Structure 1
Amino acid sequence: MKFTIEEALDRIGLSTAGLSSSYLGEGAWHAAYLLHTDEHEALVLRVPKPAAYGAPFVYNEQEMLGEYASRGLYYQHANLVMPGICPEFFAYHVEPELTFTLESYCGKTLSLQETTRSDAVELGRQCGQFMSAMSRAEVPLRGFGFLGWQEEGLVGEIQGDLQAYWQEEANEYREQFEQLVLTGIPLDEDRIRGKLEEAIRYRLGRTLRLSLTNRDISPENIIVDNHRLRLIDPLPLQYDDHVFAGNLLNNFNTLFPSYDRSPRYAKHKFGSYRAQLNGFAEGYLDGYAEGNEAVRYSIKIEEFLMLLDLVCHHAGLLNEEWNEGIRLRVGDRAAVKERIPEYIRRLEQFAFEGNRNK
C-alpha cells in the first residue's frame, strides 16, 4: 500500500483517534484491512492490489470512479429496498497514489463448511426475495449494461435501443451454439437446439424490465449476520434482472462446484459443498419467484442460456493461446477439457421449471 491508513481517513474527513488496524485478506482485485476508530466501530479499507490475474494494476481514473460510484449507488438503493442488507457507510477516493474504498464492516463471509443445506436454502430464499424487490425499484440511469463514469456521473455503458440489443443477444446465443457444434465435441445436437429455440422464443416474447442488478453474488461476498443475509462488493449493472437471476443459478448449480481446479477458486473447495451451493440456488429461485410460475420459468430460461455460454466459452478456450490470466481464472487446459462433457450433459438434461403461461 503506497499510502498510510491515516492519510486515507484524513482524505475523506474521518478522525484517526483510537485507530487500530489489521489485515483482513484479499479478493481478486483488492486487499482489505479492518479498521477501528473511536468514531466508527468497524470499517473495511480496500485498496487495489499491485497485480491481479497475472497483470499489473494500471491506474485509470474513469474506470475506478465508475466502479466505486456504482458500488455506492447499489448500496444506497439496496438499503432503501431492504435496510441493512449492505454496508450502511461507504466512501471512496480516487487519485494516482491514493485510491481506496471505505465501508462498514458487516462480518465474516459465508463459511460453507459451517452451513447446512437447509441453512443455505434459507439464505438463498432471503437473497431471492431481496433481488426480486430490487428488480421492482426504479433507479433513473441513462442507458443500460455495466455502469461507467462520465462528466454527468454514472450512466449505462450501452446507449441505444434495448429491444434491438435484446434481439442481437439472442442471435449471439444461436451463433455460439453453431460454433460449439462445429468443434465436433460429442453432444445431442437436436435436443440442445430444441431447448435453445424454446428459450429464445420465450425470451423475445416477454416484457423486459430494466433495474439495478448485481452480477457478482458468490460465497465470497455473502455475509451471515445472526442468520440474516447481507451482501458486499457487488458488480452492479442496469439490465433485465431475470438474466442475472439465471446467472446466479448457473454459478451456484454448475460453475462454482466445478471450479476446484481454478486457482482463483481452489482455496474454497466448492466441489465439496455442492449440496450447500445447490441449496442456495434452490432457495433463491423460490424466494425470487414467490410462487409465480411464469417468473420461475423465465429465470430457468436464463440459467440455461448462461450454461450454454459457459460451455461455449470453455470450448473456445481450447483454441486460444493460454496466458496467466486465463490459467488463474479457469485452470489449465486439462481442467477446462474435463469440465465440458459434464456441462454438455447438463445442457441435454436441462428442464425449464415452472409454467410459461401463468
Structure 2
Amino acid sequence: MKARIEAALELAGLGKNGLQVSYLAEGAWHEAYLISTTETGPLVARFPKLFSYGKPFVYNERELKAEYGGRGLYYRLANGVSEGICPPYYTYYISPELSFTIETYSGPVMSLAAADEAEAARWGAQCGRFFRHMDRTSVELEGFGFLDWKDGNLAGDHQQDFRVYWVEDTEGYLESWERLERAGYGSEAAGVKRMLDEIVPFRLRRTPGLSLTNRDVSPENLIICETEVRLIDPVPVIYDGLAFAGNVLNNFNTLFPSFHRSPRYERHRFDRYQPLLRAFADGFLEGYAQGDPEMLYALRVEQFLMLLDLTCDHIGLLEHEMTEETVLRYGDQAAVEERIPAYITGLEQFRLS
C-alpha cells in the first residue's frame, strides 16, 4: 500500500519525503489511509476497495469522475457557505491503473460513546443551519438528481423539467398506502392515506428549489473539531434541499438505530445510542427551521415521506429473493421483517407539528 500512496502523492504533485502511513477506516466503497510527509500536514488518501457489497471493483471512468468531481464541487460550495466545514484541500486522480482522492485530514469521526444529548443537539443544530444556508446556494449545473459526467462536465442524471417530475413524484405517494394495504396493513394504511390527503396538496403547493444537497449525512462522516462540526465524504445530489433535510431527520430518528442487524452498520451499534441520534435530529430540525412554523411543517412532511419510502422499500425486499448486496445493506430476511412493524407504528404515530 505504501507504494500506491507514494505513486498517488507523485501524481498529485505532493512531496513524499518522510512519508508516514496508517490505516484509518473502511467505508462502503473505499479504504482510507492517514498519511503525512515533511512537506504536508495530515492528509487522507482514499482508494476504491477491491470488493464492495460482494462485488468486485470495476473501473468506470465516467462514474468515478462524477463521484470524485462531485465531492470536490460540494466541498468548494460548502466552504463558501461555512468556511472550514469541509476539507480545504482536495484533489483526485482517475486511471485504470490507479484512482484515488486526497484531502485534508479533518479529525476523528463523531464519537457517540463520548457524547451526551446536549452535545448531540448542538451538533445537529450546527448541521441544520449549514444545510439551510447550503440549500439557498445556487449551483450552475444542468439537470437534477445524482451527479453524472457528460461532455466533460458535471450534470444531473435527469434532464427533464424538474417541476413536472416533482408533481409526478408527489402524486405517486398517493399509491403508497395501497401497497401497505396489499401487504396486510389495512387499518394502518387508512391512517397513512389520511396523512397523505393532507401532505400531498401541501407539497404540490410548495415551490421546490434546486440546490446541491447531501444524501449521506451520518455519524460515519461527521467530524467534531473542538465544538465545531465538519462534514466529509458527501453524496451530492441536485435536488430540493428540504427533501434531503427530511432524509437526515428520518435517518437519525429511524434508519440508523434500526439497522443494527445490517452488516453495513452492525459494527456501529447505533441502536445503543438512540437518544443521542434523536437529540441530533431534534437539533437539526431546530437549526434548519429557525423558529419558522411553516418550515418546520415542511421538514416534517419530508421526514414522513422518507419514512414511508423506507417502509415500502422493506416490504418490497420481501417480495423477491434477496441478493448478497441486499443482505449486506439491509440484513437478512428476518432483520427486514423485524423492522416493518416498528416503521408502521412510526407512521401511525407521526405528527406533523
CA contact (8 A) 2:256 2:271 kept: yes
Per the alignment, residue 27 of structure 2 pairs with: 27
CA contact (8 A) 2:180 2:186 kept: no
Counterpart code for 2:145: G
The answer to whether the 8 Å contact 2:125/2:286 transfers is yes
CA contact (8 A) 2:177 2:189 kept: no
- SS of the equivalent of 1:4 reads helix
* CA RMSD, 1 decimal: 1.1
Taking the aligned partners of 1:274 and 1:187, their CA distance within structure 2 comes to 28
Query: Displacement of 1:139 after TM fit?
Result: 1.4
Distance (Å, rounded) in 2 between the aligned partners of 1:2 and 1:309: 43
Assess, with a 3 A threshold, how the Cα gap between structure 1 residues 3 and 148 changes in structure 2: closer, same or farther: farther
What are structure 1's unaligned runs of at least 5 residues? 354-358
1:222 paired with 2:217, answer: no
Map 1:277-356 → 2, pairs under 5 A:
277-353=277-353
Letter in 2 for 1:160: Q
CA distance in 2, matches of 1:231, 1:130: 10
- Which residue pairs with 2:243 in the alignment? 243
1:222-248 deviation digits (Å, cap 9, x = unpaired): 000001100000000111100000000
CA distance in 2, matches of 1:147, 1:136: 19
SS across alignment from 1:351: coil
- In structure 1, what is the equivalent of residue 170 of structure 2? 170
Residue 261 of structure 2 corresponds to which residue in structure 1? Answer: 261
Residue deviations 1:310-346, cap 9 Å, x none? 0000011111111111111111111110111110011
Deviations 1:88-129 (A, max 9, x none): 000000111110000000000001111101100000000000
Shift of 1:172: 2.6
Per-residue deviation, 1:152 = 3.6
**CA deviation digits over 1:140-186, x for unaligned, max 9?**
11111111111241011110111110011123322333222111135
- Whether the 8 Å contact between 1:212 and 1:239 is mirrored in structure 2 is yes
How far apart, in 2, do the equivalents of 1:152 and 1:277 lie?
Answer: 40
2:75 & 2:3 partners in 1: Cα distance? Answer: 26
Residue 315 of structure 1 aligns to which amino acid in structure 2? I
Residues 1:83 and 2:83 aligned together: yes
Aligned residues: 353
Q: Which segment is superposed worse, 11-20 or 241-250?
A: 11-20
Deviation at 1:3, TM superposition (A): 5.7
Q: Deviations over 1:225-272 (max 9, x none)?
A: 001100000000111100000000000000111111111100101000
Q: Is the 8 A contact 1:187 1:344 kept in 2?
A: no
Identity %: 51
Distance 1:107 1:333 in 2: 37
Amino acid at match of 1:129: R
Contact 2:262–2:328 (CA under 8 A) maintained in structure 1: yes
* Deviating 4+ runs (over 6 angstroms): none
Q: TM-score w.r.t. structure 1 length?
A: 0.97
Which is worse superposed, 210-219 or 163-172? 163-172
Is the counterpart of residue 123 in structure 1 residue 126 in structure 2?
no
Please say if residues 249 and 303 of structure 1, whose CA atoms lie closer than 8 Å, have aligned partners that are also in contact: yes
Question: Is contact 1:177-1:312 (8 Å) kept?
Answer: no
CA distance in 1, matches of 2:339, 2:186: 13
Structure 2: runs of 5 or more not aligned = none
In structure 1, C-alpha distance between the alignment counterparts of 2:71 and 2:237, rounded to whole Å: 10
Distance in 2, Cα, partners of 1:176 & 1:219: 30
In structure 2, what is the Cα distance between the partners aligned to 1:2 and 1:96?
19
